[in-house]
Amino acid sequence: MSRKTRQHELELPFRSVRRTRAAVRRTRRAAGLPPDTLAERTGATLRRLAGSQGVRLGGLWSAALAVGVAGGVWLGLERPQGADDRVSQALRAQLTVARLGPPAPEIALPAQTQPPAEPEDAPLAEAGDGPTPSRALAVAARAAAAEIPYAPAAVAEPAAPAPPPLRLVSLPVPASPETDDGAEPAWQVNAVPVALTPDDRPMIAVVIDDLGLKRGATRQTVALPGPLSLSFLAYAEDLPAQMTAGRAAGHELLLHTPMEPLGDQDPGPNALMAELPAAENLRRLAAALEAAPGIVGINNHMGSRFTASAEALRPVMAELQRRGLLFVDSRTTAQSLAQQVATRMGVPSVARDVFLDHDVEAGRPYVEARLAQVEAVARSHGMAVAIGHPHVDTLAALRVWLPQLAAKGFQLVPVSAVVRARMVRQLAAAEAGQPLSTSERGLKGLRW
């Protein structure tokens, strides 16, 4: 189009749209151009095609084909199994053993003569996914990742020598106080049988607290290689069924008993309180014990104030002695008198050596460092008791560490085996005229 013609089009009087279009067509014809622009002709052609019945049918057919293909693809996908499927978890636990690399190098740590005092009790809300809302998304992501057992990259290494064959042995146990009806104490009746190696290997017992409230975390804990010692909170729903499942998986059972802390944290309902009358504490303890079948004993949830009071502890230990149960001191305070009072009152007992995950924010590297400390304590004293919680990082670290213990020269045992070993050691020392203090632990040099 010439410049003159374009200028003429712009100067046309636009009295109406129809008259304007007609004037434009006449002007374009006078200039030797098609009456309609290319865009107008293309739009008209497309409108005629859209109105045709054939095009409409073709569009419907294409849409139906696309829906059918998408439906077929969706139906062909496998539905993922649930995260709490115990069978799949057991298979993954077995696969972890096959995928493990060589044992990690030992970390030389100073031997402990007393369990370290830990900071004040962590509130119960920290027992699952971490104490601060800021970590909720990160913890949720790690929870999904924790379903796949961690293993180091595959490296061609010579196979580790097979551990010595296991054999069941009868442990020489000093006469334990019988219950009121003369029956064998419940802690021995409900104890998991111990399979010991012929040589005198250091023993490690792992206690997992705060179980029962979060079903998914509890099921993941039950699926770990054992035997472990699982400590359930008395106020968890469906407690007998959950504890029965744990025992069926080969683990030992404890009752995680809330006790009064030093701080303002809430230990939970029906906690044992230092200022309450002894009768009320005994009523609360009896109700909790009746709801927990098949246990070997109890350990304290929180309880920094309660376990530091000998007066408050004595009625509780007397009830445990009457029922034939043992006591595991979680040692949430360096001032704990629980093991001392238990020993004086004839209650089988043992104290925690290492907390695995008190610093939840530190993550898995912190847990792995504490597991190395457990190994050092066990080598130094002949046995070690570790306490952890069903945190994501703790469970992930244990999935890798537990299957490696036999190759490293340790025996994984329930906590009742450590209590029994401590009683044997005390008996041997007493017969040799070497009295033991209530704080001494270990089996170094002891032969079964």
Which tens digit of pLDDT belongs to each residue from 51-62?
666 656 666 777
Is residue 434 predicted with pLDDT exceeding 80?
A: no
Is residue 282 predicted with pLDDT exceeding 70?
A: yes
Collapsing DSSP to helix, strand or coil, 268 comes out as: coil
Helices 136-145 and 392-401, axial angle in degrees (round to 10): 30
Q: How confident is the model at residue 436 (pLDDT cuts 50, 70, 90)?
A: low
Q: How confident is the model at residue 221 (pLDDT cuts 50, 70, 90)?
A: very high
Tell me the C-alpha distance between 147 and 81, whole Å.
11
Reading the block at residue 390, the tokens are: 């069903």
Reading the block at residue 169, the tokens are: 């042995």
The structure tokens 């104290």 sit at 351
Per DSSP, 307 falls in state: G
pLDDT tens by residue, 161-200 = 443 333 333 334 444 444 455 578 999 999 999 876 656 8
pLDDT at 448: 26
Tell me the C-alpha distance between 36 and 21, whole Å.
9
What Cα–Cα distance (Å) separates residue 350 from each residue in 196, 242, 329, 360?
Answer: 20, 25, 6, 25
Please give the mean pLDDT across all residues of the chain.
74
Mean pLDDT of 131-154: 34
pLDDT at 72: 55
pLDDT at 145: 36
pLDDT tens by residue, 113-125 = 444 455 444 433 3
CATH top class, domain 86-126+136-148+166-431 = alpha beta
Tell me the C-alpha distance between 382 and 441, whole Å.
8
Q: Where are the domains of the chain?
A: 3-71, 86-126+136-148+166-431
DSSP string covering 148-184: SPP-PPP---PPPPPPPPPEE-----PPPPP-TTSPP
